[in-house]
Amino acid sequence: MATQVIQADQSNWEAEVMQSSQLVMVDFWAVWCGPCQMVAPIVEELAGEYEGKLKVMKLNTDEAPEVAAQYQIMSIPTIVFFKDGKPVEKLVGVRPKPQFKQTIDSLLEP
């Protein structure tokens, strides 16, 4: 079964992120952003590896600028982790996959 990275926008933000019972990883990106394209395959891989434990979403900052502004996203790519509707961790820029995994693992610990 192919892993689903959910496209986030203004219309589904409340239901998918704020009301989620599981850890949510949101990739704030844009089509024209080169570094965002470098992070995209890592985000896809993480969605597969953490399926059932982590909800992975991508938010195009050009299509949902209100949401990006709400979380002070000044540069992209920015990955924000949400727990119980609150941002708990923010990673800005391109990072190696092990760094993402380390962050996810620490946030998933009880």
Q: Which are the catalytic amino acids?
A: 33, 36
Q: What is the dihedral of CA 86, 92, 95, 97, to 10 degrees?
A: 20
Alpha-helical runs (H) found in 1-110: 13, 34-49, 65-70, 97-108
Other CB atoms within a 10 A radius of the CB of residue 109 amount to: 5
Residue closest to 54 by CA, chosen among 33, 25, 30: 25
Side chain identity, residue 30: A
